[in-house]
Every structure is written in C-alpha cells, then in structure tokens.
Structure 1
C-alpha cells in the first residue's frame, strides 16, 4: 500500500514539473512598424522562477518619441495560470520600474487531445494587471 501511494505522489510530482517546463521560455509581441508607431513586448520566464520584462515603444510624433520600460520579479504556475510577484525592495529600482504584483496570465496551448489541423500558437494572455496597458495583451512563445 505504501509503495502505491509513493508511486502516485512521484507521478503527480513529475507531471507538475513537466507542465512548468512547457511554460519556461521567451514570449514576445510586436505591433506596428518602424516607419509608423511601434510597440514591442518581451517577457522571459526562467526555470528558477524569475522573469524579466522589456517594453519598447517608438511613436512617430510622441513625446518622448521612444520609451523603454523594464520589470523583473518572480512567477508561479498554478494549473494554467501564471502569477507574477515583485518585491519592491529587491525588484523595483531605477531601471526596473514596472511592478507586476497582482498580475496574472493564462498559459494557452493546443490541447494534446485536439487532433485537428488547427494551429494554436502557444501564448500568455494577461488577464489581470495593475499595469493598465498589460490587460488583455497576448505574448506569443518564441
């Protein structure tokens, strides 16, 4: 009986690690062109549970014309929801000004049970964020 319980715990633990491995990587979104207005979002989820984020905008008649914003912190996966956390004393500084605390994103990928020819790109869809322009942003896995 003990060996069955141990085996079940081991299998469930391995399943959670394999799901985390699918999420790890670089996500990006590029809107616009260099000639007109350009908005770029880059997010990296590291295996150690940390993340880095870079936002770049180049607006033709904007003041200022180019803006770069950065953020970093920790992330955690629960089922298919990724929660982001920032410690203000560690993660927020002169360069990293974006606070991703209370931000949540859904990990979207094609289900293994879906045998159709549909192409579903792996992405993160931001559901909640105190950074107003991050809500409903879809970042695609590179």
Structure 2
C-alpha cells in the first residue's frame, strides 16, 4: 500500500514540474530570405530572434529588409519568468529607450520540448510559440531553439 501511495505521489510531482529555467533559456531564431516572383523578382529578408538568459532577462529583435526599402529593426528587452510551460514577459520603464522601444508586458508564450520519457525516434524540435501579446508582431510567432 505504501508503495502505491509513493508511486502516485511521484507521478503527480513529475507532472507539476514540467520544465526548468535551464530547459527554456537559450537562443530562438527564425527567418531568412523570401523571394516573391511576379514580373520582377523581389527579395526580402525578415528575421526574429529571442534570447532568454538564465538570469531571467530577455532580448527580442525583429529585423526586416524589404526590397527597395530601408532596413527596419524592432527591439525589446526585459524580464521573463517560467510558470509550468508558460513563459511570461515583463518590460519596465528602465528597459525602454531609443533602441529598445517595444513593450512586451502582457506577453505570454508556450514552451514546447520533446518529453524525455518519449521513446519515439521522431525528431521534435524545441521551440517557443507566442500566444498572447499586446504587440501584434509576436502574436502566434513560433521560434525554434537554435542552441541545443
């Protein structure tokens, strides 16, 4: 009987502590060149980058270079916190300046990683997907982890 109680307690504990800060921290990137061919080929470059530091700080960068237009950069920085599988972002007034202009308060993203218990040979990339944000360019943005 004691063994059964211990087994259920252990299972319940494993489910509540999904991931650690070390699992989530790292560099997430997406983007590259896109080519639109109508009459004249047009090349654009769009990239997104998110760095989650183990100390709870983050830096977000979105770069866009559309054919025939000037480069555009959007930056954000602040703090991040992990609650289960959800990453919460906060930006304070001290984080905002002439370069870091994006406020990611009220932004949430979900962390996805293959379970260590999975025996499947299928490769499943680790990624983060934004699902709630006041900043429209991050809504539904999916960024794969690049430093694994």
For Structure 1 versus Structure 2, the TM-score category normalised by the shorter chain is: 0.7 to 0.9
TM-score, normalising length: structure 1? 0.81
Q: Which has the larger radius of gyration?
A: 2
> Helix, strand or coil for the counterpart of 2:77?
strand
Is 1:49 equivalent to 2:50 in the alignment? no
Inter-partner Cα distance in structure 2 for 1:61 and 1:23: 38
Match of 1:30 in 2: 31
Shift, 1:33, TM fit: 4.1
CA positional deviation for 1:109: 0.7
Matches within 5 A, 1:24-103: 24-33=25-34, 36-62=43-69, 65-87=70-92, 89-103=93-107
Return the alpha-carbon distance in structure 2 between the equivalents of residues 93 and 123 of structure 1: 29
Measure how far apart 1:129 and its partner are: 0.9
Give the structure 1 partner of residue 121 of structure 2: 117
Structure 1 unaligned regions, length at least 5: 1-7
| Segments ≥4 residues shifted beyond 4 Å | none
Alpha-carbon displacement from aligned partner over 1:3-29 (angstroms, at most 9, x marks no partner): xxxxx9xxx7xx96x611010111101
Structure 2: gaps spanning 5 or more residues: 1-8, 36-41
Using the size of structure 2 for normalisation, the TM-score is: 0.78
RMSD, matched Cα: 2.2
Work out the number of aligned pairs and report it. 127
Corresponding residue SS for 2:122 = coil
Question: What is the rounded CA distance, in whole Å, between the counterparts of 1:32 and 1:114 in structure 2?
Answer: 35
Give the match for residue 38 of structure 2. none
